[in-house]
Amino acid sequence: MRRPVVLLSALALAAAVAGCGGGNDAPAESPSPAVTMSPQQSPEQTAAQSPAQSPAASPTKSPAAPTGGTFTGGNCTMTVGAAQVDKDVVVPDGAQCTLEGTRIDGNIKIGSGAHLMATNARIDGNIEAQWYGSLTLYGGEVDGNIQLTNGGEATIDGVRLDGNLEATNNTGALTITGNTVDGNIKCTGNTPAPSGSGNRVDGNKEGQCAGL
């Protein structure tokens, strides 16, 4: 009865061989995680997500430096403050000059159609105006004479005048008020006639200015 034993041995050997072959199988790979594809972004979306860049600061421009200088005499076509001028002053034809508390160590000549306005100015010389546009003197002193000829309007108010005041053939309003005059006041040929009052005159009041 050896045949059943041989058969059993063959079956056992086959089972052993099958068991050894199963040990060489590679382990099963785990599934890779799914990759999620993001949708393509538009240029506008990309720009919106990018951090904003601040523009470079532009350089600050300095204000322009002021121009001009101190008036030293000669032609005056500006406003002059409380300065001392050691030369004669000329107001050119058609120009305007304004003196505010200015001291002039010289004479003033007013050209044709020119305008002079002086407030509390001190004039150590004469004021000569011919064919002038206008003359306005408020306060201050004139150490010389004032001569107004063939011009426009003039106002002389509260001025201390060491010399004479002469007004001849002027065609604008002429007002002479509250002045102290060491010399004479003489007015002739002015249209209209000069007006004013309160003038203290150590000399004579003559012509159209006799009642001033």
Instruction: Please indicate, yes or no, if residue 141 is contained in any of the structural domains.
Output: yes
* Better-predicted residue by pLDDT, 43 or 127: 127
CB 212 within 8 A of CB 192: no
Instruction: Please indicate, yes or no, if residue 50 is contained in any of the structural domains.
Output: no
Residue 123 structural domain: 75-207
pTM over 0.85: no
Handedness of CA 106, 112, 114, 117 (dihedral sign): positive
Instruction: Please indicate, yes or no, if residue 156 is contained in any of the structural domains.
Output: yes
Lowest mean pLDDT of 3-12, 105-114, 137-146, 161-170, name the range: 3-12
Instruction: Please indicate, yes or no, if residue 15 is contained in any of the structural domains.
Output: no
Tell me the percentage of the chain whose pLDDT exceeds 70: 67
Instruction: Kindly report whether the peptide bond that precedes residue 192 is cis, defined as omega within 30 degrees of 0.
Output: yes
Instruction: Please indicate, yes or no, if residue 54 is contained in any of the structural domains.
Output: no
pLDDT-derived band at 69, boundaries 50, 70, 90: low
For residues 187 and 206, what is the distance between their CA atoms, to the nearest angstrom? Answer: 6
For residues 78 and 1, what is the distance between their CA atoms, to the nearest angstrom? Answer: 151
Number of domains in the chain: 1
Instruction: Please indicate, yes or no, if residue 53 is contained in any of the structural domains.
Output: no
Give the model's pLDDT for residue 149: 97
CB 154 within 8 A of CB 133: no
pLDDT of residue 141 exceeding 50, the answer is yes
Instruction: Please indicate, yes or no, if residue 3 is contained in any of the structural domains.
Output: no
- pLDDT mean over 89-105: 97
Q: What is the mean pLDDT of the chain?
A: 79
Give the model's pLDDT for residue 70: 83
Could you tell me the strand order of the sheet in which 180-181 lies? 84-85, 103-104, 122-123, 141-142, 160-161, 180-181, 200-201
Instruction: Please indicate, yes or no, if residue 2 is contained in any of the structural domains.
Output: no
- pLDDT mean over 177-206: 97
The structure tokens listed for 39 are 């949708």
